[in-house]
Structure 1
Amino acid sequence: MSAASGSKPTVAVLDYGSGNVHSAVRAIERAGAEVELTSDTETILNADGLVVPGVGAFAAVMEALKANDAPRWIGRRIAGGRPVLGICVGHQILFERGVEHGIAADGMGEWPGEVTALPENVTVPHMGWNTVRAPQDSVLFQGLHDERFYFVHSYAVQSWDFDQTIDSMAAPKVTWAHHGADFIAAVENGPLSATQFHPEKSGDAGMQLLRNWITSL
């Protein structure tokens, strides 16, 4: 942990107009961090951890992020090995592209994949508790392999094709869930992590996941 001995790690929650994020702020505080909801560049770059929330449509979230120059600051943190956690649409925009209601928009392209509609033969939005299949060596899901998490979404990344071209880099850890089809529930990739579900709405399991992330800062 990069925080000074005896002090809490600092976490910036990115404020770019993404609806009600106060539940996430409170949950991260309860999980053991000093939290600031902010759009200040220096705070975003210097905090021990950055959380990127997101609700609504993929394209709208990307436009709001761009309007605040947020992709640049997120990218600088990732390039510098500084931890970032995306939540819900904040998870989705880290992939290459999103297609919703026939509207395609580019994401940040940190990971391969396209955010598309869940299958037509299931109820959407996928709203409620669901199990996940996490790798045994997951940091986020340490001690949480039999738990359920709270999802609210109609779109997801449903395939993974990561070109592991740099042998010295560990392959990303991908966690899956199922609602009509398998979809990516979380990814852990060096300093960059993200969850399709809402840990702040996932009770004790979500709180433990946030503690796991904060402990890793």
Structure 2
Amino acid sequence: MTVLLLRHGRSTSNTAHTLAGRSEGVDLDDRGREQAESLVERLGSLPIRAIVRSPLLRCGRTVEPLAAALGVEPVIDDRIAEVDYGSWTGRKIGELVKEPLWAVVQQQPSAAVFPDGEGLAAVQARAVSAVREHDRRLAEEHGGDALWVACTHGDVIKAVLADALGSHLDSFQRINADPASVSVVRYTAVRPFVIHVNHTGSALNSALIAPPPPEKTDDVPAGDAVVGGSAG
């Protein structure tokens, strides 16, 4: 199964430079609404079987046009909701960078636990569990490989990608997940393959075309390492 990890479009909190977290009522701004509409062109021609989204408004707004074009009813899953930033929620980023915890978030995120909120390690555990569970469910429903969309938030996507890359969570700040970006992970019985990260261009089709399977070798089954791979 292949999941398209979609970050919501640009929000009013993004432009206000505040940490939205789970604040209610944070909507897309004008640019974010344009990004949501553009998803129909970017993704609408792909054989997407399901859309799973965070319960927050900005994710709902982001997938509305795509879901309508595909005739798919989005499924809401709390496990891919935004990080619970606790008492940091709603505060200006400019203020938060002065907090001692900010350095921990940047340098050792696996140890970061937000005051009155949750830790980033717990976020990764719940999000990866959700993605893999939906992946298995959809594989059973559709009898094999299929595309599906998970619309969620920047830190959640980075945590899922770090797991798929086999990287420690402490490396997740090296990954970008811009508003309305798409990152692509294919899960197999052997391992995940990260096909694309932070795609913000037009049609995604070219990023999903895999090269032909290589000849079978003694130690690598034919087709096992082709998706998103290359010879050099």
Same fold, TM-score > 0.5, yes or no: no
Larger radius of gyration: 2
What TM-score does the superposition give when structure 2 sets the normalisation length? 0.31
Which structure's residues are more often helix, by fraction? Answer: 2
What TM-score does the superposition give when structure 1 sets the normalisation length? 0.33
Query: Which structure has the higher relative contact order (CA within 8 Å, separation 6+)?
Result: 2
Which structure's residues are more often strand, by fraction? Answer: 1
